[in-house]
DNA sequence: GGCCACGTTAACAAATCATTAATTATGATC
DNA sequence: GATCATAATTAATGATTTGTTAACGTGGCC
């Protein structure tokens, strides 16, 4: 993601600090919004949906903690990142205890290179896009190899190892029929010998857990994963 | 850290003050460098990487604020401490100074014992203060790499070394399944050989101490740290 | 109906992990 | 450098999960 696509909302009651932080972030190409208290921050957040909000803890009208709690209650702003600005010395562990809603803490005084690094790290971590090569997107669902799960309708489905490997194998031959022999060779390995019903049982469990009929049986031949 | 390992860069346009401050710091065993303006300070800072820079605010050629701002822009000097020397009364500049990235203010006139104490306190802070980049904030808790502790609900949880390293490793692959082999390679090192149950035991302790179920077991595959 | 191929279920065995305690390293302190 | 406390690992046992099988059910087809 380009920095220019990232919007950051800065919230502080001191114009100087807004200016200072804004300058450093804009220099990196981020799109920066500014608000001078928690209330304004919330309305701006609703309107512009920033990726990250940097909130000063100490503010008049509505302080950072309050604002954070409010923002966390708003469903449309779910997934937004919030970082607190705190004065050095206020033990962040105490703050962490008050409010688990924050994603990060940045202490004043602010040192620009570190500040920018921190923001970058935050954005990177939360975008945390899994490696594309580990993800297979099908019509109705997504297979994430790195997390060993299948996601269907936003719900995580956990398959156990053999089930997962079998599914992967079928999907790797999308729309093609694979024989039982090929399945054995691909999932179990050439030399392993297991009974004939073993595949059936695994297929069944996959169909059950995933609630799909994408795995078609071709009688006398084998199985096929159909992408409708 | 021995004082003799600590380098302090003094920056002032008045040789008398340089002399005076330098004498007092050297008496304590610190290694002292001197510069007579901001420009020279920056080049010396790059060359010698002092732990602390004491900058007079008022200087010809390049004043303290400017110099500070410049230094803060240099990535290799990130983490360096900067203290300003200001005349008593001009504390309006403190705000501007903190924004520029200062860590402390020392007001003139200077009284040697107080000055030295102040420097010591600063350096102590420098040594103890966790580097921002050493803190990882997750959903429910905070990991402080520099202190080897985890903070959850405001309570410090102490993990011993291997536990901590293992946790860090899992967190570094957030949401991804890591195999036992990968864990061994990442935490123990390729060549070290330990039994299979060792990981289990450490995982158990982490789960126990932290009271979490974020560490999921994927049987036959490995472990996964799930955020949420 | 009888045969065949696959589906289904539950029960079993095997693999894998969890737990606990005991043992061995490690490192700090005097 | 001996001693002690702590940490890391192993060993032994128990619990769970997973993979497989067996036994039976179903439906199509000659």
Q: What is the mean pLDDT of residues B220-227?
A: 92
| B153/A93 touch (CB, cutoff 8 Å), yes or no | no
* Residue A175 scores a pLDDT above 60: yes
Nucleic acid strand D within 7 Å of A155 CB: no
Least CB-CB distance to B98: which of A102, A109, A130?
A: A109
Domain boundaries, chain B: 3-127, 135-225
d(CA A40, CA A63): 11
Protein-proximal nucleotides of chain D (any atom < 7 Å from a CB): 6-12, 17-23
Least CB-CB distance to B177: which of A112, A128, A147?
A: A147
Instruction: From the CA of A209 to the C1' of C10: give the distance in Å.
Output: 18
**Residues whose CB falls within 8 Å of the CB of residue B27, separated by 6 or more in sequence, listed in order:** none
Q: Please, which residues 145-164 of chain A have a Cβ atom closer than 8 Å to chain B?
A: 146-148, 158, 160-161
CATH T-level fold of B3-127: Rossmann fold (3.40.50)
Residue nearest to nucleotide D7 (CA to C1'): B160
Bridge partners (DSSP) listed for residue A222: A179, A218
For B111-139, how does the pLDDT look when each residue is reduced to its tens digit (9 = 90+)? 888 888 888 888 876 665 555 667 787 87
pLDDT on residue B148: 85
pLDDT on residue B26: 92
DSSP run (H or E) holding B117: helix B112-128
pLDDT on residue B96: 60
Cβ-Cβ pairs closer than 8 A, A with B, add up to: 91
* Residue A140 scores a pLDDT above 60: yes
* Residue A93 scores a pLDDT above 60: no
The residue that leads in pLDDT, A183 or A103, is: A183
Least CB-CB distance to B75: which of A88, A93, A113?
A: A113
CA distances from B88 to A63, A201, B110 (A): 32, 83, 10
For A199-211, how does the pLDDT look when each residue is reduced to its tens digit (9 = 90+)? 999 999 999 998 8
Q: Percent of chain B at pLDDT above 70?
A: 86
pLDDT on residue A144: 93
CA distance, residue B16 to nearest chain A CA (Å): 30
The residue that leads in pLDDT, A115 or B12, is: B12
* Residue B203 scores a pLDDT above 90: yes
d(CA B128, CA B18): 28
d(CA B198, CA B143): 23
Q: What is the mean pLDDT of residues A145-159?
A: 91
Q: Does A135 touch chain B (CB under 8 A)?
A: no
Q: Does B128 touch chain A (CB under 8 A)?
A: no
* Residue A167 scores a pLDDT above 90: yes
Three-state secondary-structure class, residue B29 = coil
The residue that leads in pLDDT, B9 or A121, is: B9
Instruction: From the CA of B188 to the C1' of D10: give the distance in Å.
Output: 16
DSSP B24: H
Three-state secondary-structure class, residue A189 = coil
* Residue B207 scores a pLDDT above 60: yes
Helix ranges (H only) for chain A are: 15-27, 38-48, 64-73, 92-98, 112-127, 161-172, 180-183, 197-210
d(CA B51, CA B9): 8
pLDDT on residue B88: 63
Three-state secondary-structure class, residue A125 = helix
A104-118, B36-50, B107-121: which has the highest mean pLDDT?
Answer: B36-50
Set of chain A residues whose Cβ sits within 8 Å of the Cβ of B78: 111, 113-114, 117
Among candidates B83, B79, B92, which has minimal Cα distance to B11?
Answer: B83
A106-110, B26-30, B136-140: which has the highest mean pLDDT?
Answer: B26-30
CA distance, residue B114 to nearest chain A CA (Å): 21
Nucleic acid strand D within 7 Å of A194 CB: yes
Q: What is the mean pLDDT of residues B172-195?
A: 89
Q: What is the mean pLDDT of residues A37-63?
A: 88
Domain at A135-225, CATH from 3.40.250.10, 3.40.50.170, 1.10.540.10, 1.10.10.10: 1.10.10.10
The residue that leads in pLDDT, A103 or B20, is: B20
**Tokens representing residue A179 in the block:** 């024989």
Q: Percent of chain B at pLDDT above 90?
A: 36
Long-range contacts of A156-162 (CB under 8 A, 24+ apart): A157/A209, A157/A210, A158/B218, A159/A205, A159/A206, A159/A209, A160/B219, A160/B220, A161/B218, A161/B219, A161/B220, A161/B221, A162/A187, A162/A202
Q: What is the mean pLDDT of residues B87-95?
A: 58
| A109/B101 touch (CB, cutoff 8 Å), yes or no | yes
pLDDT on residue B164: 95
Nearest CA in chain B to A110: B101
Q: Please, which residues 83-102 of chain B have a Cβ atom closer than 8 Å to chain A?
A: 95-96, 98-99, 101-102
Q: What is the mean pLDDT of residues B195-219?
A: 92
Q: Determine contact, residues A23/A32, Cβ cutoff 8 Å.
A: no
A73-82, A104-113, B3-12, B212-221: which has the highest mean pLDDT?
Answer: B212-221
Among candidates B111, B123, B128, which has minimal Cα distance to B21?
Answer: B111
Q: Best mutation site among A86, A93, A124, A161 for testing chain B: the one with the most B CBs within 10 Å? A: A93
* Residue A150 scores a pLDDT above 60: yes
pLDDT on residue A10: 94
Reported as half-sphere exposure (CB side, CA atoms, 13 A), residue B76 has a value of 9
Nucleic acid strand D within 7 Å of B154 CB: no
Average per-residue pLDDT for chain A = 84
Confidence label for A97 from pLDDT (cuts 50, 70 and 90): very low
d(CA A44, CA A140): 35
| B137/A105 touch (CB, cutoff 8 Å), yes or no | yes
Say how many residues make up chain A.
Answer: 228
Nearest CA in chain A to B150: A93
A103-107, B10-14, B122-126, B168-172: the lowest-pLDDT one: B122-126
* Residue A195 scores a pLDDT above 90: no
């Amino acid at each position: 993601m380009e920095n220019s696509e990232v919007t950051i909302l800065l919230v502080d009651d001191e114009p100087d600090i807004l200016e200072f932080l804004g300058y450093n972030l804009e220099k990196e190409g981020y799109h920066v919004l500014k608000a001078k208290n928690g209330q304004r921050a919330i309305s701006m957040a609703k309107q512009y949906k920033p990726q990250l909000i940097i909130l000063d803890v100490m503010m008049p009208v509505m302080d950072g903690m309050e604002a954070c709690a409010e923002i966390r209650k708003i469903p449309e702003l779910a997934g937004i990142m919030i970082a607190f600005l705190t004065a050095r010395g206020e033990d962040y562990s105490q703050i962490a205890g008050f409010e688990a809603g924050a994603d990060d803490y940045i202490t004043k005084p602010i040192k620009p290179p570190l500040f920018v690094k921190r923001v970058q790290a935050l954005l990177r971590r939360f975008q945390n896009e899994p490696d594309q090569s580990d993800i297979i997107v099908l019509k109705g669902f997504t297979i994430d190899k790195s997390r060993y799960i299948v996601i269907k309708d936003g719900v995580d489905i956990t398959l156990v190892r053999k089930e997962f490997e079998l599914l992967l194998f079928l999907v790797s031959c999308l729309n093609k029929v694979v024989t039982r022999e090929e399945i054995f060779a691909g999932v179990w390995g050439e030399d392993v010998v297991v009974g004939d019903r073993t595949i059936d049982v695994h297929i069944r469990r996959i169909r059950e857990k995933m609630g799909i009929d994408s795995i078609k049986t071709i009688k006398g031949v084998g199985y096929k994963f159909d992408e409708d």
